[in-house]
């Protein structure tokens, strides 16, 4: 399943699981607190399926898969018989109401840990965190093409994605960060990446590129792609294994551009390849092109990143899941703080379209990648719902905390005004995220 319908399908599946778990948290704790649940809905709008249980609770799946809700017995919303009032949500002590409202985000937090645990147990494929050609600050900091990033600021980075996020945040903060790297010969060292030297007006949509950090690979010299109309077209083929250039052996893919650049401009290079066991030689004159203001020589061939399987046993996976949840939670809170203070660009926000596209892409990469994405989104749902915005769980918790301190509930007028303000803020964020998604698609 691909294209629009594939993205839509994975969006519905992903959001459906996360919302159901979130609402189940509210539902489960409410039942334990003696509150009657009138309705448990996955989605909004007209019901596509519904069933009334023996206890009177209506369970339904509704037409619009953009959320869900649990409806409690509540005197503020409808008339309640005197005999049922003790089961009404609004009659519960404030601590019970806090527990019921907080249960949704807590359920998402627990789901996040569980999903990360499952992903690490299955095996999480990820591109190796290996640097491509370095320039600017990265080169000045001593980072070299082919270096493998083992740690960023003391945090393990088993894949490129694990390295990218903390590096991007350090760049946005313009903060120096210590990297533990391993070169192509297996030698380990620590390098201080001086991201504090980035100019104040750098492009926040590509912070790593601004720092001279690019993705690389330490795969062998196997050719995956040959560009049409390049000097290699019609001679080198996908699947060829480059074994040497000008008599010098090629061990890793990164050796190829290094050896090509070592040749004099306009000079042909002798390339030896293994094609299905047969040894072939070609003489090619690299083309010259401009990249980032520099003249470079290229053959027009490409490779695929080396993908490694990050896999743990049950105990190790539990530790890794907790560490990943803690790391991502810290990064999300940091991003929100930067967004509020203006240090991070609002262009980085993504909405339903972006989530759908990423969900489809991750599903195509394998089950564990999709599970990992769902874990991240579950944590996002937890944190976003705890923001002190009326209409969100965090807004309700704020009201209950005020009630706990003052000894009386927040006034009706304040509640209504807060609802409208919260809806405005939420609608603004949704529209901004939707706009960003459209800009990414059409650009």
**What's the sign of the alpha-carbon dihedral 233, 237, 243, 247?**
negative
Report which DSSP code applies to 176: -
Contacts of 441 (CB under 8 A, 6+ apart): 353
Structural domains of the chain in order of their starting residue, each with its CATH number: 1-22+92-121+313-443 (no CATH), 34-90 (no CATH), 124-215+305-310 (2.30.42.10), 225-297 (2.30.42.10)
Which H or E run contains 302? strand 301-302
User: CA nearest 372: which of 67, 20, 112?
Assistant: 112
Q: Count of H helices and E strands in the chain?
A: 11, 16
Residue 89 · residue 100 · CB < 8 Å: yes
Indicate whether this model's pTM tops 0.85.
Answer: no
User: Rounded to whole angstroms, how far apart are CA atoms 18 and 376?
Assistant: 11
* Relative orientation angle of helices 412-442 and 393-406, to the nearest 10 degrees: 150
Residue 202 · residue 170 · CB < 8 Å: no
Catalytic residues: 23
Instruction: State in Å, rounded, how far the first CA of the chain is from the last one.
Output: 24
The two structure tokens encoding residue 145: 């093409």
Residue 231 · residue 285 · CB < 8 Å: yes
Residue 427 · residue 400 · CB < 8 Å: no
User: CA nearest 211: which of 140, 130, 289?
Assistant: 140
List per-residue pLDDT tens for the chain, 443 residues long. 455 666 677 777 788 889 899 999 999 999 999 999 999 998 888 999 999 999 889 999 998 877 789 999 998 888 888 888 899 999 999 999 999 999 999 999 999 999 999 999 998 777 778 888 788 899 999 999 889 999 999 888 888 878 888 888 888 888 899 999 999 888 999 999 998 888 776 666 667 878 888 777 667 888 988 988 889 998 999 999 999 999 999 887 878 888 888 888 888 999 999 999 999 999 999 988 765 556 678 888 988 776 778 788 899 889 889 988 998 898 888 888 887 777 766 666 665 566 666 666 666 667 888 888 889 889 999 998 998 888 889 999 999 999 999 988 888 788 788 888 877 887 887 787 767 767 666 65
Taking the mean position of all CA atoms in its chain, how far away is CA 309?
18
The two structure tokens encoding residue 200: 């104040």
């Amino acid at each position: 399943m691909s294209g629009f319908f594939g993205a839509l399908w994975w969006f519905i599946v992903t959001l459906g699981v996360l919302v159901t778990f979130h609402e189940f948290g509210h539902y489960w704790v409410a039942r334990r607190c003696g509150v009657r649940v009138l309705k448990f809905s996955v989605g909004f709008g007209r019901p596509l399926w519904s069933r009334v249980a023996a206890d009177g609770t209506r369970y339904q799946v509704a037409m619009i898969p953009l959320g869900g809700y649990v409806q409690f017995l509540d005197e503020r919303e409808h008339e309640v018989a005197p005999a049922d009032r003790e089961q009404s949500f609004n009659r519960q002590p404030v601590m019970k109401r806090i527990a019921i409202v907080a249960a949704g985000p807590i359920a998402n937090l627990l789901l996040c840990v569980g999903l990360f645990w499952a992903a690490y147990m299955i095996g999480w494929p990820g591109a190796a965190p290996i640097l491509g050609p370095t320039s600017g600050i990265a080169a000045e900091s001593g980072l070299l093409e082919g270096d493998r990033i083992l740690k960023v600021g003391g945090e393990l980075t088993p894949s490129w994605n694990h390295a990218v996020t903390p590096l991007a945040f350090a760049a946005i903060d313009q903060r120096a960060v210590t990297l533990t790297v391993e070169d192509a010969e297996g030698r380990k060292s620590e390098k201080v990446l001086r991201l504090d030297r980035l100019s104040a007006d750098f492009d926040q949509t590509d912070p790593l590129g601004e720092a001279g950090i690019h993705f690389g690979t330490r795969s062998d010299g196997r050719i995956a792609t040959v560009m049409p109309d390049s000097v290699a077209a019609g001679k080198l083929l996908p699947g060829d294994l480059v074994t040497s250039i000008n008599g010098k052996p090629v061990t890793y893919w990164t050796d190829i551009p290094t050896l090509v650049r070592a040749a004099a401009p306009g000079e042909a290079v002798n390339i030896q390849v293994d094609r299905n066991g047969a040894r072939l030689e070609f003489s090619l004159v690299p083309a010259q092109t401009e990249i980032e203001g520099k003249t470079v020589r290229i053959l027009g061939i490409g490779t695929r990143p080396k993908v490694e399987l990050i896999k743990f046993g049950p105990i190790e996976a539990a530790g890794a899941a907790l560490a990943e949840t803690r790391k991502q939670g810290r990064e999300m809170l940091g991003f929100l703080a930067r967004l509020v203070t203006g240090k991070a660009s609002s262009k980085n926000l993504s909405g339903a379209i972006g989530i759908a596209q990423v969900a489809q892409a991750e599903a195509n990469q394998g089950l564990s990648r999709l599970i990992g994405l769902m874990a991240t989104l579950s944590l996002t749902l937890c944190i976003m719902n705890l923001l002190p915005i009326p209409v969100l769980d965090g807004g309700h918790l704020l009201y209950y905390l005020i009630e706990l301190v003052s000894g009386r509930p927040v006034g009706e007028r304040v509640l209504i005004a807060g609802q409208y303000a919260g809806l405005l803020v939420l609608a603004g964020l949704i529209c901004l995220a939707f706009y960003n998604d459209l800009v990414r698609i059409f650009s």
